[in-house]
Amino acid sequence: MKDATLKQIATQLGVSITTVSKALKGYPDVSQKTKNAVIDLAKKLNYTPNSFAVNLRTKESKTIGLIVPTVDYNFFSKVFEGVLEEAEKRKYLVIILRSNEKLEVEKKQIELLLNKRVDGILMSLSNETGDFDHINNIIAHKTPLVLFDKIAKLVNCSKVMINDRKAAYDAVTYLIQKGHKKIAHFRGSYMPQNSIDRFLGYNKALEDNNIPYDSNLVYLCDNNTDFEDGYNNAQKVVVDHPDLDAIFAITDLVAVGAIKYLNDIGIQIPKQIAVFGFCNSFMSEIITPKLTTIDQPGFEIGKRAASILFDEIELIRNNVAFEFQLVELETGIIERGSA
Amino acid sequence: MKDATLKQIATQLGVSITTVSKALKGYPDVSQKTKNAVIDLAKKLNYTPNSFAVNLRTKESKTIGLIVPTVDYNFFSKVFEGVLEEAEKRKYLVIILRSNEKLEVEKKQIELLLNKRVDGILMSLSNETGDFDHINNIIAHKTPLVLFDKIAKLVNCSKVMINDRKAAYDAVTYLIQKGHKKIAHFRGSYMPQNSIDRFLGYNKALEDNNIPYDSNLVYLCDNNTDFEDGYNNAQKVVVDHPDLDAIFAITDLVAVGAIKYLNDIGIQIPKQIAVFGFCNSFMSEIITPKLTTIDQPGFEIGKRAASILFDEIELIRNNVAFEFQLVELETGIIERGSA
């Protein structure tokens, strides 16, 4: 049907199908006069942008790139499953690259994907990413881009995230309502927006509950918010603050590290010290005690980000105008034994 | 330098550089006489296979496909890290697809990758894969293939695996040496070679220790050897065999499910029932009690399989003969609290 219409345009204008196809694609070797004639007739015949897509299909690679900071066993694995599920549905292939939380690697990976002429890029920024020239370069290449989780507010593209500040605020408010007053925060590094926002949420919850902020209660996780970070910081915090009654950790992995250390030295959780995580990863259910945490919808984040990217790839191909989307997915508190 | 040599061959033979290039690639539109002359002179000028590669480089996609049965948070995530590390080193991109343990999906994924003309394919078979026509089709397409973990003995290609039978034998022998006599096995499904081999290892260890095999002690994990499988089978086995003293689970995830149930009903591990896993995943360290398990080197398997694949891609491109490799990586017992 669509091919028939393409042929119809060609026949009516007395030009070849190739010329019609080229005119619709905006090729420079077709005169502006012919282009205008083709476009006018296409409109008249209700030759919709969607059917243009069919003819442009040969230009697409049906492949996208996904850059993640790390391949972990928790959040990014879930994101990955969501991306793959959507990609399978929409018949796209996914090239996965890691930045290893390094800005230089991230730049290189973007270059590789642009050289590969992928149809679009999904990415979550590394902890080192503080300037965004390389990200803006993706946009300059007219390659559709969707950022998720660790996003840059200054980059003009669609973004899928959670409200990290609100989620952290809810977590710390929950701890305060349970009677905890001396709450440490094991925070992420200083660059990523989600790490900043979780810290700000912690801060605001204290403020709104008239608990003075004490910077000595904030411990940096400098090893990519790893299990070791939680373990080591727990070791420090119990010495520094013997009257501590709760820990709000930036990720489940950090929380699990903390629980491991507290278990090792015989501190009762949550009776002596409560521990609150962030992610709701599989391990939060199998550790003893089970981890109270924020439900961060990794699968949904991946699926949604991929879906928006595929839509934008197709809209751009069809020359349909669209606006970037800022999607904020819901989070909730998963109450378990640790807080 | 290499281009100079190519030009040199062309000049000496009085043919175009394109003809020389085509002759070296074996294109059909160059006569056999010219091909022979080019190849003879190339040899004479020490035009090595390696420098042929430079000229063939435009034909390569520098992209491989990786098909895994599932994206899990344990074994395949580790494999994936190993593959990516090697790919980064060798400057290849990796397209990841899942078969979801389904034969039909696996066939479709292979087709996608062959259509995409990837340079090679790494794969671990789905639990349903019992005939191998689609796998042999990869070989028929002259696309290098390396199988890992869930391999097919009948497919003629390089393979990277562990000795599942021996590892399982070692695990069960360990349990017997600790005094356990009534040992259940939570086994994987009937198709994958690794599931069969782990069962056979269990069987042989009993036999060598004069413990009669009892088929009632073997429980099938029919849900992709999941956490639920372990939980549900533990629920059954304690009712069926009140005198049970050990469980050998096909994977850590199954073992963790079993530990979860045993903990829930207050059975002491390992005092009343010992639990032995298989993988040495991250969760085996954080569960209470910590899991005694087989160290299955997922990262190393991924890295090695990728390395062999990249070698074969380059050897084939350079027309260098090679033999398929059957690599068996070492496993060991990780002694922890559960057995």
% pLDDT > 90, chain B = 71
Interface test with A, best of B64, B76, B79, B88 (most A CBs within 10 A): B88
Instruction: State the fold for domain B164-294.
Output: Rossmann fold (3.40.50)
Rounded to an integer, what distance in angstroms lies between the CA atom of residue B294 and that of residue B292? 7
pLDDT greater than 50 at residue B57: no
pLDDT, tens digit (0-9, with 9 covering 90-100), for B239-253:
999 999 999 999 999
A223 touches chain B (CB under 8 A): no
A93 touches chain B (CB under 8 A): yes
3-state secondary structure of A159: strand
Task: Give the Cα-Cα-Cα angle A231, A235, A237 (nearest 5 degrees).
Answer: 115
pLDDT, tens digit (0-9, with 9 covering 90-100), for A284-316:
988 989 999 999 999 999 999 999 999 999 999
- pLDDT at residue B296, as a whole number: 95
- pLDDT at residue B47, as a whole number: 67
Q: Where are the alpha helices (DSSP H) in B26-156?
A: 32-44, 49-56, 75-90, 103-115, 133-140
Q: Among B21-30, B44-53, B209-218, B325-334, which is the least confidently predicted range? A: B44-53
- pLDDT at residue A184, as a whole number: 98
The CATH number corresponding to A2-58 among 1.10.260.40, 1.10.10.10, 3.40.190.10, 3.30.870.10 equals 1.10.260.40
Contacts of A260 in chain B (CB under 8 A): 286
User: Would you tell me how many other CB atoms lie within 10 Å of the CB of residue A243?
Assistant: 6
Mean pLDDT taken over chain B:
90
Comparing CB atoms, the residue among B77, B80, B283 nearest residue A283 is B283
A282: closest chain B residue by CA: B73
Work out the end-to-end distance of chain A between its first and last CA atoms, rounded to an integer number of angstroms: 62
Q: At A26, is the pLDDT very low, low, confident or very high (cuts 50, 70, 90)?
A: confident
What type of residue sits at position A70? T
Backbone angles phi, psi at B64, to 5 degrees: -120, 165
CB A270 within 8 A of CB A291: no
B17 touches chain A (CB under 8 A): no
Contact flag A256-B281 (C-beta cutoff 8 Å): no
Domain ranges of chain A: 2-58, 62-161+299-332, 164-295
**What class has domain A164-295?**
alpha beta
Superfamily of domain B61-161+299-331 in the CATH hierarchy: Response regulator (3.40.50.2300)
The two beta strands, A183-187 and A145-148, are unpaired
**CATH architecture assigned to A62-161+299-332:** 3-Layer(aba) Sandwich (3.40)
pLDDT greater than 50 at residue B55: no
pLDDT greater than 50 at residue B265: yes
Contacts of B74 in chain A (CB under 8 A): 73
Contact flag A81-B73 (C-beta cutoff 8 Å): no
Contact flag A286-B98 (C-beta cutoff 8 Å): no
Whether A62-161+299-332 and A2-58 are alike in CATH topology: the answer is: no
- pLDDT at residue B333, as a whole number: 97
Q: What is the nearest CA distance from A229 to chain B, expressed in angstroms?
A: 15
A81 touches chain B (CB under 8 A): yes
